Amino acid sequence: MLLKLTGSSCSGKTTLAFSAGDRLGRLAVHDFDEVGVPDSADRHWRHRETERWVRRALEYQDRGVDLLLTGQSPLGEVLAAPSAPLLEGIAVCLVDVSDEVRRSRLTTRDAGRWDAPTVDAFLGWAAWHREHARNPRHLPEAVIDGSWPRMAWHRWTGWTADDQRWSTHLVDTTDRPVAESADQVEQWVTQQRDALRSGRLPLSRGWSDPAVARADHH
């Protein structure tokens, strides 16, 4: 299955993923940007890369290994990736942090790299992530407008916030030790794996089939 840690920059996604991954078996951990980010990176690029990572997850799946992936692609982009329905399961966790902490991390981690408008854009992206995690109808144009043509947005744009398939777990790292947040991510991964095995995972294979009418989806 694909387990995705998402969120805006400087929330701690990668640190937590590798920390939790060290404790869990049959789990590959990767960062979305590990192969490099071109200067021309845009929404098209992120969508194409999301599909590439979904295909990588399918390769792992064939070997009985789950993929824990960190990056900024939210739930809606993962579900719209062309190959997403081929995954045995999908689960997404938003790793978030307060605006004050994020601003501090952005200005200290990469001192001088980001000007004030860029930092504000990161904070705005974080705010959008929070609302997107709660409601699929919150400004979907933020990811859909000008998107990669192969993305299948129709899979979820008709959903409402009470659809159980629209589920993003939250880990807030504000004022928490890394070890505590890593414990939460480890527990989340374990819970999602258990849910898939027991048939309780909302985004298990078949979630995108319009002919499948599951009572728990409405």
User: pLDDT value at position 212?
Assistant: 58
**What is the strand order of the sheet 2-6 is part of?**
27-31, 66-70, 2-6, 90-96, 168-172
Overall pTM > 0.85: yes
**CATH code of the domain containing 159:** 3.40.50.300
**Total domains in the fold of the chain:** 1
Examine the pLDDT at 159 and tell me if it is beyond 80: yes
Q: What is the DSSP string of the chain?
A: -EEEEE-STTS-HHHHHHHHHTT-SSEEEEETTTT---TT--HHHHHHHHHHHHHHHHHHHHTT-EEEEESS--HHHHHHSTTGGGSSBEEEEEEE--HHHHHHHHHHHTTTTS-HHHHHHHHHHHHHHHHHHH-TTSSTHHHHTT--TT--GGGTTT--TT-TT--EEEEE-TT--HHHHHHHHHHHHHHHHHHHHTT--TTBTTTT-TT---GGG-
Long-range residue pairs from 33-36, CB within 8 A, at least 24 positions apart, any chain? 33/71
Q: Which domain does 212 fall in, by range?
A: 2-217
Is there a contact between 4 and 79 (Cβ–Cβ < 8 Å)?
no
- Tell me what pLDDT residue 110 has: 67
Kindly report, residue by residue over 134-152, the tens digit of the pLDDT: 999 999 999 999 999 999 9
Task: Please report, rounded to a whole number, the percentage of residues in the chain having pLDDT higher than 70.
Answer: 95
* pLDDT for 178: 94
